[in-house]
Amino acid sequence: MMGDMEDMKPSPIFSLNEWLPLEQAANHLSSVIGATVRTADILRFALDGHLKLSVRFPNFATVKRGEIIQFPHSQIEASITAGVLPSELKWQMLPPTAARFLADVPEEAEGQPFFKIRNLKLDDERYVKFVGKVKTIIGLWDLPMIGGEMIDVEERYQQLTGGPNLNLAAIEGAVVEGPDGGLCQLQEQFSVKEYSSVWDQEHRELKQQIAAADIPEEEAEKLLDSHKKERKQILQTMKALSEEDSFYPARRLPKDSTLVVRREVLIEFEKFVKQRQLNPCNPVDNNAQHRVPTNSCQPAIARKIIQYFKVKCDPDENTEWWKDKMREANRNGLAGCRVGEGRKGPGGSSWRPDQIAAWLLDRHEKGHEGLSSDAAAAALRRFPGCDEAATAFFQSDE
């Protein structure tokens, strides 16, 4: 992804820019870290949780604002057991076959229908529901990478790197984050004109398919008539909707929006890269036997990570917290701490305690659940060969 750079200097007007488009952000990073950074690299850094992307809306975008709901995991489990589901959350009964597509289904629910929270999950205690009337926003907003906006970025990355087409969708739609930390769900509106245009194209294609398949005239008429009736029913439904009900969650970011990186985010990322250069981490190769630690700190199994890094005081809550974070390692920025193939059992994942400690410290400093430098260092010393890395945590604060 990166190669050596020569004779590149930071732009003298960098300090005047509030944000940079992706290409300019890549050029700036290339000039300050001494390696070639491409636009695709910027997207990858964001997907891996190392860098926060923003989106600029030059025109108004329509949204619904999010309302945070706090429910501890233990309380939700107790409610399900008692058969009284919290009305503040949105629930859906799913068939047994859905369990294989979801990562957080309890073992006791396998093989039978089960309830699933439909609200967007932020962490092990917080959910968000998007309510109220639609609003309009404009200008610069951040991407929290928790919904359709993450799929949008992944799709752009695959296009730039010659990867496969994505057939993914986020039920919660694309989400953006405001300067106050509030979340908004982007909205689109049903359009009779747009639907009619799509229907016309589908109808032409249907006629071509009928001709190519040499379908008898009577059967062909039935197919075309059925397609026309479907159009009539959908148009009647769309026209009957109120203005408020005609909006639905947008799957992707608006086409007239632009992905950018804030100046302060680039500065923080520069610091992150330089720290990694001082204490480098091997690139992920998904092959544990070829991973060589950059210091004497040895990889550890998940059980030891959970045992020593106590983010929660209650052991059961701590275990659940870690399981949730490890299940979604890419989404939570933990992928770079993992060694192995990301699965259970022999040959599966182990974890770099020094990188885990750095991740927890970073979360703590950003106001999220994590560990202070003292707590992270104390936990790190319990792992074989990690004394040197633990000492570095104390030195970094001096």
pLDDT confidence of residue 87:
82
Q: How far apart are CA 136 and CA 187, in angstroms?
A: 10
Structure tokens at 161: 């790197």
Token pair 């020593």 is found at 308
Would you list the domain boundaries of the chain?
14-63+128-188+251-263, 72-124, 192-240, 282-396
Nearest Cα to 175, choosing from 120, 125, 216, 214?
120
pLDDT tens readout for residues 100-119: 656 556 665 566 777 778 78
* Secondary structure (DSSP) of 51-105: S--EEEEEEEEEEEEEEEEE--HHHHHHHHHHT---TTS-EEEE-GGGGGG-S--
Q: How far apart are CA 19 and CA 52, in angstroms?
A: 12
Cβ neighbourhood burial of 148 (10 Å; 0-12, 13-18, 19+) = buried
Cβ distance 120 to 110 under 8 Å? no
Q: Is 15 helix (H, G, I), strand (E, B) or coil?
A: helix
pLDDT confidence of residue 388:
78
The secondary structure element, H or E, covering residue 306 is: helix 302-308
Q: How far apart are CA 236 and CA 233, in angstroms?
A: 5
Residues 282-295, buried b or exposed e (16+ Cβ, 10 A)?
Answer: eeeeeeeeebebee
Q: Give the count of beta carbons closer than 10 Å to the beta carbon of residue 75.
A: 12
Q: How far apart are CA 63 and CA 134, in angstroms?
A: 5
pLDDT confidence of residue 174:
95
Q: Give the count of beta carbons closer than 10 Å to the beta carbon of residue 90.
A: 15
Token pair 């701490």 is found at 337
pLDDT tens readout for residues 255-311: 999 999 999 999 988 887 876 654 444 443 333 332 333 456 788 899 999 999 999
pLDDT confidence of residue 284:
39
pLDDT tens readout for residues 36-61: 899 999 999 998 888 999 999 999 99
Radius of gyration of the chain (CA): 25
Q: Is 377 helix (H, G, I), strand (E, B) or coil?
A: helix
Tell me if the pTM is above 0.75.
Answer: no
- If phi > 0 it is left, if psi is from -120 to 50 it is alpha, else beta; for residue 83 that is left
Q: How far apart are CA 151 and CA 171, in angstroms?
A: 11
247: which residues sit within 8 A by CB, 6+ positions away? Answer: 62, 64, 134, 187, 188, 189, 190
Q: How far apart are CA 271 and CA 278, in angstroms?
A: 11
pLDDT confidence of residue 198:
78
pLDDT by residue for the chain (398 residues), tens only, comes to 444 444 456 666 777 789 999 999 999 999 888 788 999 999 999 988 889 999 999 999 999 999 998 888 788 878 877 878 888 888 877 777 766 656 556 665 566 777 778 788 887 788 899 988 999 999 999 999 989 999 999 999 999 999 888 877 777 889 999 999 999 999 998 777 777 887 888 888 888 888 888 888 898 899 999 989 988 888 887 777 776 777 889 999 999 999 999 999 999 888 878 766 544 444 433 333 323 334 567 888 999 999 999 999 888 899 999 998 988 887 788 888 887 654 444 444 689 898 899 899 888 888 889 998 889 989 998 888 888 778 766 554 44
Q: Give the count of beta carbons closer than 10 Å to the beta carbon of residue 355.
A: 21
Q: What angle do CA 311, 317, 322 make, to 5 degrees?
A: 60
